[in-house]
Structure formats: structure tokens, C-alpha cells
């Protein structure tokens, strides 16, 4: 059991502990140093992960997979978390618990990394629980604000139910199949009703992390009520890990046709409900939250065809990468506007805050899939994989939902560009501006370097 196999995760863990200790020792006005420490630790984790790229083996008695998907998660999760860290110093500058926020953020990122690389159901449970428990704290971090407390409570209640169902599902699968190890379960999961029920319950726990129907209700509340850096993190990072974990699970049981059908139905329901619910939102943060739900629906298209076509996994990873960058870009624009939520406050934004307006427009264009933005390429890859697998009806539903989503994105961008200027929006500035620029540049680079990135994505998983 070489400890070095988990060096990226250990780097995040040690940085989280160090950030917590530093926050205890420093005066509140110096807690911004914890942000620098957190970003440095995450960068180190990415560097170690890059050095381990190309590994293809199971480690720690087969409970953790070192493969292409794990490498992708080890790069994407810390990388996007750094952008969330960058939004935080100015946002929490007057919060007495400023420094502790970074420890919670890192512990939650660690849970996501553990979830993405899990090759055993017990390891999966551990990663999900670590990600969830810390997520509850992040969602309700503004404990003096009723909306934030409501978001945290709803996240906790939905999560408690979903995680309980997850554990029951693991018990059922372990009891009927005799193992929790993916290498043992691969292709050998019995198709009896109890095992299929157990798998469906495990899927329910992962649907919660993804924000998919029917355990999606926390997403718009967290997007609206959590601190903007936490909202950006919680609507992206758990989804990245949950998508990989869900793909691994569905690929384990190619002989159980009910699982892909269930995922396809949930995909259609999630994208449709997310888009319909976003249509008349007057709060931009809730609109982004419902948009996040719909994006989960699109991602599930690739999971529904897991193992059926070779392009399924690359399409999933490519789409989730672009979605994560665009979603954090949208929240960075909101953070730059000091959390401005009322849609009327965005009228004439292009004149008072041109950078924030352009960033928001590009993020929304990526969500819709308007060429040549990378979001178009990600959606195209999803549609192609779905059509090749014979699920034409799901691709048609996705296209219809994409057209529908144009309406509510234009409700924000249209007035922001063409309406008369209202009172100039306040700016937050500082490192928020750095995160905004970084996310914007990365989104554009992803568009330009798409072919090289696509070629580097893995086509298969362990075991």
C-alpha cells in the first residue's frame, strides 16, 4: 500500500489542517493568509497528480482506482476550487470565521476527490459523507442570514435522506453480491430484485451529489443563500466527483438494463424540470441554480450510455469540465457585483460593469451551447454519444431543452446589454477580479485547445 499513491489527497488534507491551525493563531484581519495557503496546497496537489498521470492500477487493497478519470478529477477539482478560494478573501473580510472557511472548503474538496477515485462501495460512502457534512457547513456559513440558514437546512435534510438511502443500498448490494469491491462486482452483479433495488438506492445517493431529480431541491436554495464562493463550489465540485462515481457504478453492471433506463429517465426529467423552473426566476442566483440542475440532466446522458459507446466517458468528462468553468465564471461575475441577485439590477450592466456583463454572457452562452464556445463542443459530444448508443429520444429531449433554456438566459443578458443603464452596480474587486479573469481565460483556452484536450481524455475505467 504505497502512501505516495494518495499524495494529492494527502496534500489537500494536510493543507486543510494547516489552514485551520493558522486561522486559530492569526488575528481575524490576517485570515486572508489562509486563502493563500489553501491555494498553494491545492496547486501542489495538482502538481503531484500531474506527475502521477498515466497510472492504471488499483491501490490500497483495491479500494482506490488510479486511472485516467481519477487523474482528471485530481486536476479539475483542486483547479476549480482555487477559483472559489480566490473569490473568498474580500467576501469574508468582515467574518470572524473567515479562516475556517478554507479548511471546510478543502475538506469538502478532499471528499470529492475520494469519491471520484472510489473503487469500493465503502470508499464511495466515505467520500460522499465527507463531501456532504462539510457542504452543509459551507451552505449555511452566513448563519445570521435567514436565507443562508434555510439553504443549509434544506441541503442537510435532503442529504440526510439521500445518504441514508445510499447506505441501505450498499448493505443490500453487499449482502446479495457478497462484496463491495468493484473489481469483484464488475460484470458479476446478480440481477435479482434486492440487488437491483440496492443499486437504485446507491444511485439515489449519487443523484443527490449531482443535484438530479428527485433529490435536486437543495440546488437553487444553496445557489441563492450560500455565500457566493460556497455556492460556486457546491454547484460544481460535488457534481464533478458524483459524475465520475456514477459512471463507474453504472459501468459495473452492463447486464442490468434497468440502470441505464433509470438514468436516462432521470436525465430527461432533470433537464426539463431545471429549465422550466428557471423560466420566470427573478433572482439571478436562483436562476443559475436551476440552470445547474438542467446541466446535470445533460451530463446524465453520457452516464445513461456508459460502456455502450467508447465516446461516453470522454464526453462526460469534457462536458463537466466546461460546465464547471462556466458555472464558476457566472458566480465570479455575481461575486464581483457584491452578490447582486435582483434581475432588474442587471439592466444596462454592459455600461456600468462591462467585464462582469461579458463574463456572464459567455458563461450563459456556454451553458446553452452556442458555437464556438466550448460548451457547444461539450454538448455536441454528449449528443453524439447518445445517438450512437441508440437513445435518439433522449437527444431530442435535450435539444428541445437547449432551445427552451435560451429564453431565461436572454432575460438576463438582453436587458444587461440593450436596456438603459440603472444605478451602477457596486464592485467587490480584489482577488474576486482575479478569479473572474482566470475563469474567463480558461474558458476561452478550453475552446481554442479543445482538440488537444479531447485527445487526452481517458476512454475507459478501472477495474
Whether 420 has a pLDDT exceeding 80, the answer reads no
Distance CA 63, CA 388 (A): 32
Reported as a pLDDT band with limits 50, 70 and 90, residue 192 is confident
Closest CA to 344 of 428, 425, 231: 425
Query: What is the pLDDT confidence band of residue 386, given thresholds at 50, 70 and 90?
Result: very high
Mean pLDDT calculated for residue range 141-156: 87
pLDDT band at 20, cuts 50/70/90? very high
Rounded to an integer, the average pLDDT of 205-226 is 93
179: exposed, middle or buried (Cβ count in 10 Å: 0-12, 13-18, 19+): middle
Confidence of residue 424 (pLDDT cuts 50, 70, 90): low
pLDDT at residue 267, as a whole number: 96
Average pLDDT of the chain to the nearest whole number:
90
Strands 64-66 vs 57-59: parallel, antiparallel or unpaired: antiparallel
Residue 409 half-sphere exposure toward CB, CA atoms < 13 A: 24
Q: What is the mean pLDDT of residues 243-251?
A: 93
Is a pLDDT exceeding 80 seen at residue 426? no
CA dihedral defined by 349, 326, 298, 282, rounded to 10 degrees? Answer: -30
pLDDT at 423: 62
Q: Is the peptide bond before 346 cis (omega within 30 degrees of 0)?
A: no
Q: Is the pLDDT of residue 354 over 70?
A: yes
For 47-96, write each residue's pLDDT tens digit: 999 999 888 888 888 889 898 899 999 999 999 999 999 999 888 888 78
The pLDDT of residue 353: 86
Residues 6+ apart with CB under 8 A from 46: 8, 74, 75, 78, 79
CA dist., res. 291 & res. 285, Å (int)? 10
| Contact predicate 423/371, CB 8 Å | no
Confidence category of residue 1, pLDDT binned at 50, 70, 90 = low
CA 341 to chain centre: 21
The stretch 297-324 carries a mean pLDDT of 92
Q: What is the dihedral of CA 399, 403, 408, 412, to 10 degrees?
A: 110
pLDDT above 70 covers a percentage of the chain that reads 98
- The whole-number pLDDT of residue 456 equals 79
pLDDT 10s digits, 168-191: 999 999 998 888 889 888 877 887
The answer to whether the CB of 211 falls within 8 A of the CB of 293 is yes
Q: What is the mean pLDDT of residues 336-353?
A: 85
- Burial (CB count <10 Å: 0-12, 13-18, 19+), residue 448: exposed
Residues with Cβ within 8 Å of 252's Cβ and at least 6 positions away in sequence, in order, are 182, 185, 186, 187, 189
pLDDT confidence bin for 16, thresholds 50/70/90? very high
Confidence label for 258 from pLDDT (cuts 50, 70 and 90): confident
Can you tell me the distance from the alpha carbon of 400 to that of 180, in angstroms, rounded to the nearest whole number? 39
Q: Tell me the percentage of the chain whose pLDDT exceeds 90.
A: 64
Closest CA to 135 of 155, 117, 163: 155
> Do 252 and 190 meet the contact criterion of CB atoms below 8 Å apart?
no
Out of 184-188, 382-386, 417-421, least confident range? 417-421
Mean pLDDT of 203-222: 93
Choice between 456 and 228, residue whose per-residue pLDDT is larger: 228
- pLDDT tens per residue, range 27-53: 878 888 899 999 999 999 999 999 998
pLDDT of residue 422: 63
pLDDT at 169: 94
Amino acid at each position: 500500500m504505497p502512501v505516495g499513491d494518495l499524495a494529492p489527497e494527502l496534500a489537500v488534507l494536510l493543507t486543510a489542517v494547516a489552514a485551520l491551525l493558522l486561522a486559530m493563531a492569526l488575528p481575524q484581519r490576517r485570515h486572508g493568509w489562509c486563502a493563500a495557503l489553501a491555494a498553494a496546497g491545492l496547486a501542489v496537489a495538482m502538481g503531484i497528480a500531474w506527475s502521477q498521470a498515466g497510472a492504471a492500477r488499483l491501490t490500497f487493497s483495491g479500494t482506490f482506482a488510479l486511472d485516467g478519470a481519477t487523474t482528471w478529477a485530481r486536476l479539475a477539482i483542486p483547479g476549480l476550487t482555487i477559483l472559489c478560494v480566490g473569490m473568498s478573501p474580500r467576501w469574508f473580510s468582515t467574518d470572524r470565521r473567515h479562516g475556517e472557511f478554507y479548511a471546510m472548503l478543502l475538506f469538502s474538496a478532499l471528499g470529492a476527490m475520494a469519491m471520484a477515485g472510489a473503487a469500493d462501495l465503502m470508499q464511495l460512502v466515505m467520500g460522499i459523507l465527507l463531501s456532504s457534512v462539510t457542504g452543509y457547513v459551507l451552505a449555511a456559513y452566513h448563519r445570521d442570514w435567514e436565507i443562508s440558514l434555510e439553504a443549509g437546512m434544506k441541503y442537510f435534510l435532503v442529504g440526510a435522506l439521500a445518504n441514508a438511502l445510499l447506505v441501505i443500498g450498499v448493505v443490500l448490494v453487499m449482502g446479495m453480491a457478497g462484496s463491495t469491491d468493484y473489481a469483484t462486482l464488475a460484470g458479476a452483479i446478480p440481477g435479482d430484485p434486492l440487488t437491483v433495488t440496492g443499486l437504485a438506492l446507491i444511485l439515489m445517493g449519487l443523484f443527490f451529489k449531482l443535484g438530479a431529480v428527485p433529490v435536486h431541491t437543495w440546488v437553487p436554495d444553496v445557489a441563492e443563500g450560500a455565500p457566493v464562493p460556497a455556492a460556486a463550489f457546491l454547484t460544481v465540485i460535488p457534481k464533478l466527483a458524483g459524475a465520475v462515481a456514477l459512471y463507474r457504478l453504472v459501468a459495473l453492471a452492463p447486464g442490468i438494463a434497468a440502470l441505464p433506463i433509470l438514468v436516462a429517465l432521470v436525465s430527461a426529467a432533470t433537464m426539463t424540470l431545471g429549465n422550466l423552473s428557471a423560466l420566470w426566476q427573478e433572482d439571478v442566483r436562483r436562476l443559475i441554480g436551476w440552470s445547474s440542475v438542467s446541466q446535470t440532466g445533460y451530463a446524465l446522458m453520457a452516464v445513461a450510455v456508459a460502456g455502450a459507446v467508447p465516446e461516453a466517458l470522454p464526453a462526460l468528462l469534457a462536458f463537466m469540465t466546461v460546465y464547471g468553468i462556466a458555472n464558476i465564471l457566472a458566480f465570479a461575475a455575481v461575486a464581483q457585483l457584491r452578490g447582486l441577485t435582483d434581475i432588474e439590477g442587471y439592466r444596462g450592466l454592459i455600461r456600468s460593469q462591462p467585464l462582469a456583463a461579458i463574463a456572464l454572457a459567455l458563461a450563459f452562452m456556454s451553458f446553452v451551447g452556442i458555437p464556438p464556445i466550448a460548451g457547444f463542443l461539450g454538448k455536441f459530444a454528449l449528443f453524439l454519444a447518445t445517438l450512437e448508443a441508440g437513445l435518439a429520444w433522449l437527444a431530442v429531449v435535450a435539444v428541445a431543452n437547449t432551445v427552451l433554456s435560451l429564453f431565461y438566459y436572454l432575460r438576463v443578458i438582453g436587458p444587461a446589454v440593450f436596456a438603459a443603464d440603472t444605478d451602477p452596480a457596486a464592485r467587490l474587486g480584489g482577488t474576486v477580479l482575479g478569479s473572474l479573469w482566470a475563469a474567463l481565460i480558461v474558458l476561452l483556452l478550453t475552446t481554442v485547445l479543445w482538440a488537444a484536450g479531447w485527445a487526452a481524455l481517458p476512454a475507459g475505467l478501472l477495474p
